[in-house]
Amino acid sequence: MSETLPSALKAASLDQAPPRRSALSTFLVGSLGHGGLMAGAIVLAAIVLIALAAPLVAPHDPYAQNLARRLIPPVWDARGTWDHILGTDKLGRDYLSRLIYGARISLLIGSVTVLISGTIGTAIGVCAGYFGGRVDAVLSYLVTTRLALPVVLVALASAALVGSSLQGVIVVLGLLLWDRFAVVTRAATQQIAGSDYIAAAKAIGCSTPRIVLTEILPNILNPLIVVATLEMAHAILLEAALSFLGLGVQPPLPSWGLMISEGKQYMFFSPWVIAIPAVALVFLVLAINLVGDGLRDVTAPENRN
Amino acid sequence: MLAFTLRRLVVALSVAFTVSVIAFALLHLSGDLAITIAGPEASPAQVEEVRHQYGLDRPLPIQYLDWLWHAAHLDFGNSFFFRESVTALISERMPVTMRLGAIALTLSLVVAVPLGVLAAVYRGTAIDRLALSFCVLGQAIPTFCLGLALIIVFAVNLRWLPVSGTATWQSYVLPSVALGWYAIPAVMRLSRNGMLEVLSQDYIRTARAKGLSPTKVVLKHALRNAIIPVVALAAVQFGFMLGGSIVVEAVFSMHGIGHLAWEAISRNDFPVVQAVVLILAGIYITLTFLADVVNALLDPRMRVA
Amino acid sequence: MSDIVLELRNVTRTFQVSQGLFRKKATLTAVAGVSLQVKRGEVYALVGESGSGKSTLAKMLLGLLPPSSGEILIDGAPIAAKNRVAVARRIQPIFQDPYSSLNPRKSIAQLIALPLVVHGIGSAAERHRKVLEMLDVVGLPRRLLNASPSQLSGGQRQRVAIARALVMRPEVVICDEPTSALDVSVQAQILNLLLELKRELGLTYFFISHNLAVVEHLADRVAVMYLGRFVEERTRAGLFAGPEHPYSRALLESVLTPDPDLGVPDTHLGAVFPNPLTPVAGCPFNPRCPGAVDLCRAEAPPLVRLPDGWATCHFAPHGAARTVAA
Amino acid sequence: MALLEVEDLVIDIPTAMGTLHAVGGVSFALERGETLAIVGESGSGKSLTSLALMNLLPKRVQRKAAKIAFDGQDLTTISQAGMRRLRGNRMAMIFQEPMTSLNPAFTIGDQLTEALLCHRKVGMKEATDRAVHLLEKVGITAAGQRLRQYPHQLSGGLRQRVMIAMALMCGPDLIIADEPTTALDVTIQAQILHLIADLKKEFGMAVILITHDLGVVARVADKVGVMYAGRLVETGTSRAVFKQPRHPYTRGLLDCIPVPGRTQPGMPLGAIRGQVPNLIGRLDGCAFRNRCDFAGPECAADIPLVRTGADHEVRCARLDATEVAA
Amino acid sequence: DKARDTLVYASDTEAENVGPYHNNVREGVIIARHAFDNLIFHDLATGKYQPQLATSWTWVDPQTLDLTIRKGVTFHNGDPLTADDVVFTLNWAVSPEAKVVTKQNVAWIKSAEKIGDDKVRIHLNGPFPAAIEYLSGPVVIYPQKYFEKVGLDGFAKAPIGSGPYKITAVTPGKGVTMEKNTNYWKDSPLGQPSIGKLVFRIIPDQETQLAELMTGGVDWIWRVQADQAKQLEAAPNLTVLAAETMRVGFLQLDAQGASPGSEPLKDPRVRQAIAYAIDRKAMLDNLVRGGARIMNSACFIDQFGCTDKGVPRYDYDPAKAKKLLAEAGYPNGFSIDLYAYREREYAEAVIGYLDAVGIKAKLNFLKYAAMRELSRANKTPITFQTWGSFSVADASAFTGVWFKGDADDRARDQQVTDMLKKADTTVETEARLAAYAEALKVIAERAYLVPLFSYSSNYAFTKDLEFSAQPDELPRFFTARWK
Ligand SMILES: Nc1ncnc2c1ncn2[C@@H]1O[C@H](COP(=O)(O)OP(=O)(O)OP(=O)(O)O)[C@@H](O)[C@H]1O
Ligand SMILES: Nc1ncnc2c1ncn2[C@@H]1O[C@H](COP(=O)(O)OP(=O)(O)OP(=O)(O)O)[C@@H](O)[C@H]1O
Ligand SMILES: [Mg+2]
Ligand SMILES: [Mg+2]
């Protein structure tokens, strides 16, 4: 049945004698003990490394086409060759190389989008949470408005307006995906703004920017990082959806979403064309989500001693 | 309660107003409307005539109010592409999307809520881990990949269900699964977390101390409180689903408003896009408003707020 | 310079409590017309039940909340005229909950040094020296310098909070229930420390508590607060020898000393609970007062002066004889 | 035969860093109509002990006992269903947090009648009548209307009364009250304690009162158990324990609290140095020895409870020394 | 579906308007052929023109054509089809307010008049020998009374014709339903329709079409990708048919440099370089296949007047392309936008080839209508176009659209326009051929567009269906029947 934690526990469990493990080492121990987090982190790290070292690890030029050698199946197929381990696409481009370069694009989209949306969302959330009152009402209404707009549709429409391109997709997604940041940081900030150490900082004479930057921000970092990872996955998936619908990244850039979209026509007879980027995408998103979930578990207050 | 409702109503209306401004801007950012309406071969004089005829030479605020007035009467002008009333186009496609969304939502609630409750009640056991893994995996699979996979397996290979279209109820099964899938993790997590939180509350301990059976504790005392956020989320999810149905409708060639909007975007048919954005936002706003009210009804504490 | 460091003149603080957009906002009077004077070097204690406005008053003294009306003076100068930074150098707080009053992301050294940093006092080395000094003063081992608050016990944390409050050498320390979250054994340590520091540094305490036993041990003067008002202000000895206000009396009776020969006292108080949103006519205490009569329900009680303070009650037993009516 | 007999109750909690021995070998017996108070600092295992009696411990917390017998029934082997029949029926519990211990989604009436409807074959009407009756008993006026109210519409003191009424619904033989007054103001605390004492007399129930307030214990308990680090270090009649405390910890505690009239205002209070030990890992000997002035090498061994009087047992290896000091 | 006597055919594009004069997509042409009648019938088997609605026709002079209209034909709503309807249709189609989408189809007509009970005279704007071909293709006859009653918008929703099938439902975005016209006039050269119901379903996705075909959701699809077509042949319940079509794929270059970023294209050397850069043979062999051919001229090689003799060829030569680029002042290439609307992989292959010579092309993949609009608004530097000439087997149906100064002419080369005008109006066959050859040569020299190849169309349909494909990319379901 449920775990009913005696309310005194929170205080009691804190009230133990030093020396104890530092926050960092508890975090590390927690992380190492968290299977999902570790698995996710390893896969993610691998993908990031491969993406960074793309020119070194990619066996071919991802853009070099050779129509005479199109649609070669991967090496595990009887007709496959070791020259093209994952086969070639419809234009005879090496699929493995495209996949490797595609990782760069997905990660780029994920990280830059999160950077933009995170900045916007955090600014909004912290202001709303800290100042409360009217500011909060206005900013909450902003968030509601944003939530009322259907993301895919607005992203598609904006992409159509600004012209679909890598930069366009990043900017559009960055300007759209800040809502969760705002909601989470707002809640976290509200909680912190009411705590005595903020009152203490004010009583000491700290300026508002100082309070926000040194007292509040570090303390909402955990949820922020968690949201950032999850939103990164979200952004990558959305880009894939936009590319799938034809208004995302444009060819010949090897974005995974685009590769899936292009591979769609071969899904009945050469299913690997679509399966390979789809699996890669699922893996990446899965890894990021695992890391995000894991971080949430590890940094959640009930798990911190 | 009345005051609460009215306050929420004001927020809803102001959000709707903002969305309408955005939708209006969308159309006017898409290019010179007079030229678009007059057609590419029109002479400058003809363009001017169209401009005058459609009132496009008036100041923007006036145009906006005029448009808003018509939009409020569900008159969204004519489609650039079909040269037909947008309202007619949309009302013809709306039932498909609504049906799709409703089935998908029901599906995801039916799966996710019990799963979340079970996971919470059996926290830390295999059931919980299974449910959570299912969640993480679910989130990582892009809707369109899932849709395609469903087509290959259930429509093409097994031939159980139709590939596309909206002819029979069977046509809705696969799309609803693909669409509902997306919401399952969110709903499940929320019911699980809500349930966990409620189960750790003191009043659950009180209920158990009264000698109530575990089922009664969970179903009466816990669920009633845990379900409240799920109600709100269900409404939000329905809004998101209507927005997310673009992808699903595209994959399954269903002629709903998502598909209409997508095609309209690729044809630069912005009156349609605008209307769909506005309608989806309107539905979202209405639903969240209703959810707030229902929440308030469910939670006696909120009635005095 | 007079010996009155802190003075409140008819200070009122109200909150607008929203009850819905179209319903009128209700006015909650958290502090109603409070006047007081704190002398340099004394311990001025404030007792009262939960929600009576003690913390609100403390926040106003700290400059964290502006009063709705009335004046707060430090050394005779209104604090509105000074800015928060200037106030901060002279008045410092110690909060109730040592778990939430320390930023968990900072080290002990950073926490204690923060006031110095904010006010730009000293070089880094000097600040470090001061921090070490403060650790000694509050009796914390130096090895905790780089520890984080989560590694400390409640008592240790409260010491850190005290060190932080005192590092700027303020004149007045506002203690808002500094020991109520602590176990008795730790409470004793902290109370001893506070008394010791007061002696050594010549501090003035504004000490808030709901524990009359603690107040008796610490205070020079005691004010009793009920529903935002002061109902009695006396010297310690006077109050504990003979409380004039029935609420003070009930408070005093409710102190449960560990004496197995005594039973649980019956305070004869009513069970009606005060709601600051719906003020009662007459004496605010009348719904619970065992001796309330019609007069109490009709008229606000007068301020009754006593040799060692004052009380507000129609029937202050000693006051009646020696009153200089308000 | 005693109503409740507990022998060698052990509660272990597996944690990431090792097993936490929260309660180590607690034994006591309770007669009908008797009040046992268990007192100890935060984290000493009081709440877990009480939850263990009701078999309401969180799942991963492990309970072991040589014997837990309630009115002749062995609770260590009883089935879940059998335990449920006892809970709320013959043994009831009052929790510490009146604010959160009531379900906000249901009316007072619903929550009050629930236990009765569950355990007895009674109709709604009958249950409601009893609820009204009990609400009036605990001093709530207009009880009939209160039944339709939701918890958030009541103040803390009222809610705690509702909690008490709820525990009384089935006329239990034993009531376990875990810090029933800690969250309340002192005047209300006195009222509630008074109420419990009255009700106990009226219904002839046995009460286990858990608290950290020595004052409360001294005033209401027949028997006292002092807990430290998961063990009972001293038990006996309230008179024996408070008049002749023998364990250094009990003495330390008693010295810590300021008592109006007894402690000298402004003078240092007695204090227990050091901190509570970490309960994770093996604990040998006296857990208090690192804070004890009398500690000697013999304290590192396992120490039995030593009977020092008719109704007085102490777990100390240096009784000789403490006697001299007394 | 044979059981329900309903042929469901699917295609990916939707006509913005079912009215034959108001769309220029192939799907619209197909519907027009089924629901409307032409005046003259072009028998592809014999290459001869035969009477259809016109029982006979005579050239009065090179600019005047007299026709006798058949009696006894009725529109689907029962109204008789008369000479008045013919006169009305033609005069309306040339009027500016009709806003006919492909002007070329009717631009040769000056006016029509009724010169007898069943006699109609068409006045031409100038000599136009291809007139008969147009009358047997895009020019269909509308019912005057009905059209005047419902207007253009009403007609789009419920069009009425006289053809072998009547349109019963038009659902924008979804498709069109047609039913057999049981009263179809007896002697029609089209023959009598056999299948009871035709359902045109718009399925934008090739794969969905394919899946639907495999699972029996639709009976007939076309434009199946060469790769898939090969695989589909193995399916037991399907027939796959490959045939060359009149459709020609080409790159249209904004030689005027009017679009953003199209400055380099003003230089003919750059345009030639683009032509040299593309390996058309490789594309043909690997991507297109199925009997398609490389095109060197700006028309379909089998059209009357179309020839590649004496026309310069741009065989794959990346080195030369680079050299030309360098000469034009772009040794490092340049970046440019490329627009396309179908066969994305062809466009991508082109981009790959351009990339190899240093031209960084960015693909913009749009719906046809959107792309056409952008192109007509001078916003597309390079467009990957295809043109099926409305199945008109005359070179004018190609060159006339792209080079005669109309909306789709992005070269705007007056000299070329004049040469084509001359060719279009030359009556004498040899002279006409020579005129076209000369114009085509100039077009190719200046490389206004880069012809790539003709298309092959792969049809795939259920084995139950007896269907034969024609090279003009115009499926005729009225001749199809169930086995
Ligand atoms: N920001 C605020 N907005 C609205 N009401 C407030 C606010 N702060 C305090 N109050 C109200 O003012 C009254 C006094 O609160 P205050 O915190 O000063 O009481 P207190 O005496 O410190 O109580 P406690 O002993 O529980 O700390 C309470 O009724 C409280 O609800
Ligand atoms: N669910 C749990 N998980 C881990 N440790 C626990 C749990 N419950 C209790 N503990 C630990 O067991 C010990 C005893 O806890 P308990 O709640 O019984 O103390 P208490 O005496 O009731 O304290 P308080 O006076 O604060 O209520 C504490 O050290 C606490 O940290
Ligand atoms: Mg307070
Ligand atoms: Mg406890």
Query: Does the pLDDT value for residue A3 go beyond 70?
Result: no
Contacts of A179 (CB under 8 A, 6+ apart): A121, A143, A146, A147
D in contact with E (at least 3 C-beta pairs within 8 A): no
Expressed in angstroms and rounded, the spacing between residue B2 Cα and the centre of ligand 1 is 27
Angle between helices A272-299 and A95-131 (to 10 degrees): 30
Q: What is the pLDDT of residues D242-295, one digit of tens each?
A: 988 889 999 888 888 888 878 888 888 888 887 778 788 777 788 888 888 888
| Cα separation values, D7 from D70, D91, E357, Å | 12, 18, 91
* A chain contacts of residue E227, beta-carbon cutoff 8 Å: 71, 90, 266, 269-270
User: Does residue A17 or residue E471 have the better pLDDT?
Assistant: E471
For residue E140, the 8-state DSSP code is B
User: Which of A153, A266, A269, A284 is the best residue to mutate to test the B interface, defined by the most B CB atoms within 10 Å of its own CB?
Assistant: A153
User: Does residue D325 or residue D237 have the better pLDDT?
Assistant: D237
Check whether the bond before E96 is cis (ω within 30° of 0).
no
D33 lines ligand 2 (CB under 6 A): no
- The pLDDT of E457-476, averaged and rounded, is 86
Expressed in angstroms and rounded, the spacing between residue C179 Cα and the centre of ligand 1 is 19
Position D226 scores a pLDDT of 93
Position A53 scores a pLDDT of 87
Contact residues, chain C to chain B, C-beta under 8 Å: 19-23
pLDDT band of residue C323 (cuts 50, 70, 90) is very low
C154 touches chain A (CB under 8 A): yes
CATH classification code of C4-312: 3.40.50.300
Q: What is the pLDDT of residues B45-82, one digit of tens each?
A: 777 887 787 777 788 888 888 888 888 878 877 777 77
D42 lines ligand 2 (CB under 6 A): yes
Query: Does the pLDDT value for residue C321 go beyond 50?
Result: no
Position B70 scores a pLDDT of 82
What average pLDDT does chain E have?
A: 88
- Stated as kind and residue range, the H or E segment containing E58 is strand E54-61
- The pLDDT of A49-65, averaged and rounded, is 86
Position A27 scores a pLDDT of 64
Query: Does the pLDDT value for residue C22 go beyond 50?
Result: no
1.10.10.10, 1.10.260.40, 1.10.3720.10, 3.10.580.10: CATH of B86-198+230-304 = 1.10.3720.10
Least confidently predicted of B161-170, C126-135, C212-221, E381-390: B161-170
Domain parsing of chain C, residue ranges: 4-312
| Cα separation values, E441 from D236, E296, E419, E449, E450, Å | 119, 10, 11, 12, 13
What gap in Å lies between CA C305 and CA C320, rounded to an integer?
9
Closest in A1, A12, A17 to D59, CB measured: A1
Least confidently predicted of B34-48, B118-132, D113-127, E467-481: B34-48
Q: Which residue has the tokens 């249209």?
A: E252
CATH of the domain at D151: 3.40.50.300
Q: What is the pLDDT of residues D43-73, one digit of tens each?
A: 888 889 999 998 888 888 889 988 899 888 8
Contact, E395 vs E299, CB < 8 A? yes
Take atom 12 of ligand 2 and give the residue whose Cα is closest: D22
pLDDT band of residue A10 (cuts 50, 70, 90) is very low
Position C19 scores a pLDDT of 57
Position A32 scores a pLDDT of 66
What gap in Å lies between CA E212 and CA E189, rounded to an integer?
33
SS3 C73: strand
CA atoms lying within 13 Å on the CB side of residue B226 = 31
pLDDT band of residue C318 (cuts 50, 70, 90) is low
Residue range A34-62+83-299 forms a domain whose CATH class is: mainly alpha
Position E274 scores a pLDDT of 93
A14 lines ligand 2 (CB under 6 A): no
Least confidently predicted of A285-289, B239-243, D213-217, E200-204: B239-243
Quick one: CA torsion of B62, B65, B69, B72, rounded to 10 degrees?
160
Nearest Cα to D233, choosing from D270, D283, D183? D283
What average pLDDT does chain A have?
A: 80
Query: Does the pLDDT value for residue A9 go beyond 60?
Result: no
Phi, psi of D262, rounded to the nearest 5 degrees: -105, -50
Residue C62, both tokens: 């700290």
- The pLDDT of E226-251, averaged and rounded, is 86
SS3 C32: strand
- The pLDDT of A61-78, averaged and rounded, is 82
CB contact under 8 A, E286 and A246: no
Phi, psi of C230, rounded to the nearest 5 degrees: -80, 125
Least confidently predicted of A32-36, B10-14, C201-205: A32-36
Q: What is the pLDDT of residues D152-207, one digit of tens each?
A: 888 777 888 888 888 888 888 999 998 888 777 888 888 888 888 888 888 888 99
What gap in Å lies between CA A139 and CA A128, rounded to an integer?
6
Query: Exposed (0-12), middle (13-18) or buried (19+): which is C24, by Cβ within 10 Å?
Result: exposed
C200 touches chain D (CB under 8 A): no
Beta bridge partners of A304: none
Domain hosting D128: range is: 4-279+307-325
CB contact under 8 A, C22 and B4: no
Query: Does the pLDDT value for residue D325 go beyond 60?
Result: no
pLDDT band of residue D326 (cuts 50, 70, 90) is low
pLDDT band of residue C207 (cuts 50, 70, 90) is very high
Among chain A residues, CA nearest to E282:
A67
Position A304 scores a pLDDT of 40
pLDDT band of residue A26 (cuts 50, 70, 90) is low
What average pLDDT does chain B have?
A: 82
Query: Does the pLDDT value for residue A303 go beyond 50?
Result: no
Closest in B208, B211, B225 to D119, CB measured: B211
pLDDT band of residue C326 (cuts 50, 70, 90) is very low
Least confidently predicted of A39-48, B270-279, C15-24, C35-44: C15-24
Nearest Cα to D4, choosing from D239, D205, D305, D181? D205
Query: Exposed (0-12), middle (13-18) or buried (19+): which is A284, by Cβ within 10 Å?
Result: buried
Least confidently predicted of A69-78, A102-111, E23-32, E154-163: A69-78
Position C320 scores a pLDDT of 47
Alpha-helix runs per DSSP H in B30-85: 33-38, 44-53, 60-72
Angle between helices D108-119 and D156-168 (to 10 degrees): 10
- The pLDDT of B156-160, averaged and rounded, is 80
- The pLDDT of E110-130, averaged and rounded, is 89
Task: Tally A–B CB contacts below 8 A.
Answer: 146
SS3 E74: strand
Handedness of CA A206, A210, A212, A218 (dihedral sign): negative
Percent of chain B with pLDDT over 70: 94
Q: How many domains does chain D have?
A: 1
Is residue D294 included in any domain, yes or no?
A: no
Tell me how far the alpha carbon of residue B52 is from its chain's centroid. Answer: 37
Take atom 18 of ligand 1 and give the residue whose Cα is closest: C53
What gap in Å lies between CA D172 and CA D159, rounded to an integer?
20
- Stated as kind and residue range, the H or E segment containing B118 is helix B86-121
Percent of chain E with pLDDT over 70: 100
Q: Which DSSP string do the residues of E84-101 spell out, in sequence order? A: HHHHHHHHHHHSGGG--S
What gap in Å lies between CA C315 and CA C306, rounded to an integer?
13
What gap in Å lies between CA D93 and CA D174, rounded to an integer?
8
Position E324 scores a pLDDT of 92
**pTM as predicted:** 0.83
pLDDT band of residue A302 (cuts 50, 70, 90) is very low
Query: Does the pLDDT value for residue A51 go beyond 80?
Result: yes
For residue B4, the 8-state DSSP code is H
Reported ipTM: the value is 0.81
Phi, psi of D27, rounded to the nearest 5 degrees: -130, 140
What gap in Å lies between CA C276 and CA D20, rounded to an integer?
45
Domain parsing of chain A, residue ranges: 34-62+83-299
Expressed in angstroms and rounded, the spacing between residue C185 Cα and the centre of ligand 2 is 18
Query: Does the pLDDT value for residue A24 go beyond 70?
Result: no
